Structure 1
Amino acid sequence: MGHHTFDAAQAANLEDAATRYRYLSREELVWALDPDESATVADLGSGTGFYTDTIAPHVAHVYAIDVQDAMHDYYREKGVPENTELVTSGIETLPLESNRLDGAVSTMTYHEFASAQARSELARVLAPGGRLVVADWSADGTGDAGPPLSERFTADDVTTALRESGFDIEFRATRPETFLVVGVAGE
C-alpha cells in the first residue's frame, strides 16, 4: 500500500465541519475515547487540529502529532488550545515516554501510517488500559471521498493488526465509507 500525507496546501478543506462530522461526530469521538479530565492523550495525524479541538476540553493534555510542520503552522494561525502541545513526528518514532498516554485517536489518518512499527510504538506509549480510537476510510467503501481504495484498510484488517500488536478490541463498527475501531492497550 502506498502511504501519503494530506496536501497541506489544502488544509482549509479539513475545517469543513459538515463534511468531517458526517464521517465521525464530535460526540462519537469523545464517547470512543472516553477520557477523564486528568487524561493525557494524542491526536495522531492531527493536521489542522479539527479533532484535537474536540478532545482538548475533555482532558488535561493533548499532544497534536503530525509529520508536517505546515499543518502545525496552520493550526497555530487558527489558535491552539492552552493544553495542547504540537509535536512534529511520525507515528513510528514518537518522542514520548513509555506508558505516557491514557489514550490516542487517529481520525482518518491510520492509512497514512499503518505499519507494524507504528502499532508497536503506540503500544509502547499507551499506558495499560489506554484507549486507541481508529476512525478511517474503509477499503470496503466506494472511494467517492477520501484516499484511493488502494490505500485503505478494512475494519477487519485493523482489528487483526491491533490484536497482533497486543490490543484488546472493545468496539468495532463499519459504515458505508468508514469504520471505527476502539482498542485497549494490554498490560
Structure 2
Amino acid sequence: MGYHTFDVSRADKLEDAGRRYRFLSAEELLWALSLSPDEVVADFGSGTGFFTDDVAPHASAVHAVDLQEEMHDYYREKGVPENVALVTSDVSDLPFDDGAIDAAFSTMTYHEFASDASLAEIRRVLGPDGRLVVVDWAATGTGDFGPPLDERYEAAEAAAALRDAGFTIDHEAVRPETFLLIATLE
C-alpha cells in the first residue's frame, strides 16, 4: 500500500469539475483508454466516481474499485450508472478472475496503492492486450495541489515500476503537476 487515502469528509472536492478537469480532461482519459463499447474496465481508486462517470458510457461494464466503503456511499447518493459495479477492495487483492479486465485506469491515486503487489495484481486481472492508464500527481510538481511532494512519484519512477511488473510503456507525458502513462501488457 502506498500512502494515505483521500479524506472522505472532503469528498465534495472530488466533484469539482473545474479543478479535476484542469489536470485531466474526460477527452484525454478516453483517448488514453481507447475503449471499444464491449470492454470491461476497472477504475482503481474510484472515489466518488467522478472519472468513472466519464468512462461508463463508453464501456460495457466498469468496476469502481475503492478501498473506502464511505466513498462508495457518496457515489451511491450521487447516483451510480447501471453498468458500474462498486467494488470495495485494496488494489493488491482484487476480486476479479485472471484476465477479466480489458482496460484499467487510475486518476490521481497511483501514489496511494503503488507497490509490487498491486502492480502484479493489476497485471493478473488484465486480459491479453490489456491497457493501464495512470494519471497521478508528479513528484516534480509544486505541491500546491494534491498530496505532499514526498508522497508522489516521478513519471520515470512509475514507468520503471510498471516495466518491472511486465508492462510496456506506450506513452509518457509529464506536465507541471501531473504525469500520464499508458501501459500495455508485454
Q: Same fold (TM over 0.5)?
A: yes
What count of residue pairs does the alignment treat as equivalent? 186
Match of 2:146, as an amino acid?
G
Quote the residue 1:183 is aligned against.
183
Q: Which string of whole-angstrom CA distances, capped at 9 and with x for unpartnered residues, describes residues 62-89 of structure 1?
A: 0000000000000000000000000000
> CA separation in 2, counterparts of 1:185 and 1:67?
25
Q: Which runs of 5+ in 1 are unaligned?
A: none
State the secondary structure of the residue aligned to 1:62.
strand
Q: Which string of whole-angstrom CA distances, capped at 9 and with x for unpartnered residues, describes residues 114-149 of structure 1?
A: 000000000000012111000000000010100000
TM score, norm. by length of structure 2: 0.99
Moved beyond 6 Å, runs of 4+: none
State the secondary structure of the residue aligned to 1:168.
strand
Quote the residue 1:23 is aligned against.
23
> By how many angstroms is 1:185 displaced?
1.4
Quote the residue 1:79 is aligned against.
79
State the secondary structure of the residue aligned to 1:176.
coil
The alignment's C-alpha RMSD in Å is 0.9
> CA separation in 2, counterparts of 1:113 and 1:182?
17
TM score, norm. by length of structure 1: 0.98
Match of 2:123, as an amino acid?
A
Q: Given the alignment of the two structures, is residue 57 of structure 1 paired with residue 57 of structure 2, yes or no?
A: yes
Kindly, what percent of the aligned residue pairs are identical?
58
Quote the residue 2:68 is aligned against.
68
> CA separation in 1, counterparts of 2:2 and 2:65?
21
Q: Which runs of 5+ in 2 are unaligned?
A: none
Instruction: Evaluate the alpha carbon distance shift between residue 53 and residue 2 of structure 1 in structure 2; reply closer, same or farther with a 3 A threshold.
Output: closer
> CA separation in 2, counterparts of 1:172 and 1:48?
26
Match of 1:162, as an amino acid?
L
State the secondary structure of the residue aligned to 1:96.
coil
